[in-house]
Structure 1
Amino acid sequence: MTTTTGARPGEDAYEIDTDPDRVDIGLVHHWLSTDAFWALGRSRDLVERALRGSLNFGVYDGEGMQVAYARVVTDHATFAWLCDVYVDPAHRGRGLGVRLATAVRDHLAPYELKRTLLATLDAHELYGKVGFVPVPDPEGLMVLRPTT
């Protein structure tokens, strides 16, 4: 999937692509391990393994440089988890987070998944614009935490 976004007059054009070969793993590792509070210190090996096992969304500027990333863990049949959404600080404030989440939603729509989840501490409004809502039955969710 490749989609160009940014059609409004005067707005920068960005391309969103799911080709994993375009993802700059070194850059994504740097973003996540040094600036994403949920992934600080994450090893490059872990980033690479996660990327290989996921559906990846890269956002690229007009020069083809990667400026944002999102990852979806899914079985393409019943469930998906949107995670590791990151927009380079130099490109924030341009609506890329909403555009990226919208591209993910639209890409997953044909699968008619029963549930697509994400976890966020501070971006509820952003994801709400795309249709995400608080979990209606949080008492039904559980988590298995590492024992170490």
Structure 2
Amino acid sequence: MEQNYFISTDKNLLNVDAIQQFIANSYWGDNRTLEEVKITIENSYCFGIYTLKNEQIGFARVVTDYIYFGYFMDVIILDKFQGQGYGKILVKEILEDATIKKLKTLALKTKDAHLLYERFGFNKIGDSPLWMSVDKQILD
């Protein structure tokens, strides 16, 4: 099967309007404004997934110190692309990114995507219904 998408960390490619509209209407987005989305993008390590014609398929960002910790946020696939496997592709590519691979701990919160993240090694944290993590740091 021919690859019909590409993934980039180039923030200039992001369709910020489409991202904001999706996030503002999500259960976690709390009517986030365009300005707020722009600030979160500016202050995060971002990933976009696109069609070969540069149409935004999905987006994710990682808030990180670039050494120890990364917090996955706003992982989305736009409505018309959902159910086609792009979420799995995006998460896999993020986890294979050189910057993300070297982090010791990754965390996220999700209300409804536990099965997606579990396949990539994330585990629930304690009795929280939302928090998940991958912890590669060994403490003596």
Q: How large is the RMSD of aligned CA atoms in angstroms?
A: 1.7
What SS does structure 1 have at the residue aligned with 2:73?
strand
Equivalent position amino acid for 1:24 in 2? N
Structure 1 position 26, deviation (Å)? 1.2
- Look up the equivalent residue of 2:15 and give its one-letter code: D
- Please state whether the residue corresponding to 2:124 is helix, strand or coil: coil
Instruction: Work out whether residues 98 and 129 of structure 1, in 8 Å CA contact, stay in contact via their aligned partners in 2.
Output: no
The answer for the alignment partner of 1:3 in structure 2 is: none
Whichever residue aligns with residue 12 of structure 2, its letter is D
AA paired with 1:19? D
The Cα of 1:46 is off from its aligned counterpart by 0.8
1:44 — aligned with what? 34
Structure-1-length-normalised TM-score: 0.80
Secondary structure (helix, strand or coil) at the match of 1:93 reads coil
| Ranges of 4+ aligned residues in structure 1 off by more than 4 Å | none
Match of 1:82 among 72, 85, 101: 72
| Counterpart for residue 97 of structure 1 | 87
Residue 77 of structure 1 aligns to a residue in which SS?
coil
Structure 1, gaps ≥5 residues long:
1-8, 142-148
Larger strand share, 1 or 2: 2
Q: CA deviation at 1:136?
A: 5.3
Q: 2: CA distance between counterparts of 1:59 and 1:16?
A: 4
1:115 corresponds to: 105
- Asked if residue 68 in structure 1 is aligned to residue 82 in structure 2, the reply is no
Aligned residues: 127
CA contact (8 A) 1:98 1:130 kept: no
Q: Which residue of 1 aligns with 2:24?
A: 33
Report the TM-score when normalising by structure 2: 0.84
The Cα offsets for residues 109-134 of structure 1, whole Å up to 9 and x where unpaired, read as 1x2x2210010010000111222111
- Between the aligned partners of 2:56 and 2:110, the Cα distance in structure 1 is 23
Identity %: 30
Match of 1:56, as an amino acid? C
